[in-house]
Amino acid sequence: MFDHNETLEEARARNVRDALFEDVGVCDWTAQLVPAGQRVKARLIVREEAVLCGRDWFEACLNQLDATARITWAYAEGALMQPNTEVCAIEADARALLTAERPGLNFLQTLSAVATMARKHMDAIEGASPNPRGCVVLDTRKTLPGLRLAQKYAVRVGGGANQRLALYDGILIKENHIAAAGSVTAAVKNAQALVAAQPSPQREQITIQVEVENLDELREALAAGATSVLLDNFSNDMMREAVALNQQLTHGQALLEVSGGVTMDQLRGIAETGVDRISVGKLTKDVKAVDFSLRVLERIGG
């Protein structure tokens, strides 16, 4: 359908263009009330504890309108910000800053929220897993339209990991695929044949994961050669049985991932079962914006 898979850099440029286009259009009439060429100093404050994410998006929004703007950051990307502290100091053309303010803050408040949520989830399972590989929290494809790569980047900034970036990023066999193929075994074998038919290096880059809903399906998937299995809506006891079964049949080589409406309260107990990964859709779909405030402090030379 398309000629290549979008990179993060390409996605960021598209995000910024779209944000400015939808907000500014042909003109920011209110910014015209400020004298042309007037420069100002401003500062950005965060009102709550949060992980900073989205600096490049914020800078790009301003730099698109004022290439000479200077932003001095008080926090690094991924740093934990303290409430009511300065995030950055800005010197820029006043019209450009006022126009870029809302698009830039929209990115910061959204991506910082995702990174903060990812950090909280990773903190919740710290030290809980008996698995020698550890346990990690992953996102899903339940992202805000147009912000897929940005939000997945934010999850990584917060210390989490990414499930598939997109449909191009691997095979995930779910219940409808299994029903259409006839069985778990048939679906897995079809996927293996499809991957084997691809040229190198693409062949080595396509992962295969199969979703199962009970222990019998897990046994069938592992017997068919599945190396990554998604345990959908398993109880904790079933997860422990799944880990034992994986150890018995593959010496623990297959990756076991848990999904299905996982809440923060359930996280640690799930990690304690020994599974490898926990996927949580709310990291990217239930976003509560971080509270930032930008204030102009003074005019420069006027």
Residues catalogued as catalytic: 102, 142, 174, 211, 232
Q: What single DSSP character describes residue 43?
A: E
Give just the sign of the alpha carbon dihedral 152, 153, 154, 160: positive
d(CA 109, CA 54): 8
Rg of the chain, C-alpha, whole Å:
23
Are 86 and 71 in contact by the 8 Å Cβ rule? The answer is: no
End-to-end CA separation in angstroms for the chain:
54
d(CA 105, CA 206): 36
d(CA 26, CA 20): 10
CA atoms lying within 13 Å on the CB side of residue 8: 11
Which tokens sit at 174? 């779910």
Q: Checking phi first, is residue 78 left (phi over 0); if not, alpha (psi -120 to 50) or beta?
A: left
User: CA separation (Å) from 249 to 162, 246, 254?
Assistant: 27, 5, 9
CA atoms lying within 13 Å on the CB side of residue 276: 17
Are 36 and 95 in contact by the 8 Å Cβ rule? The answer is: yes
Which tokens sit at 191? 């996927």
Instruction: Give me the helix-helix angle, 55-65 and 8-24, nearest 10°.
Output: 50
Which tokens sit at 106? 């929209």
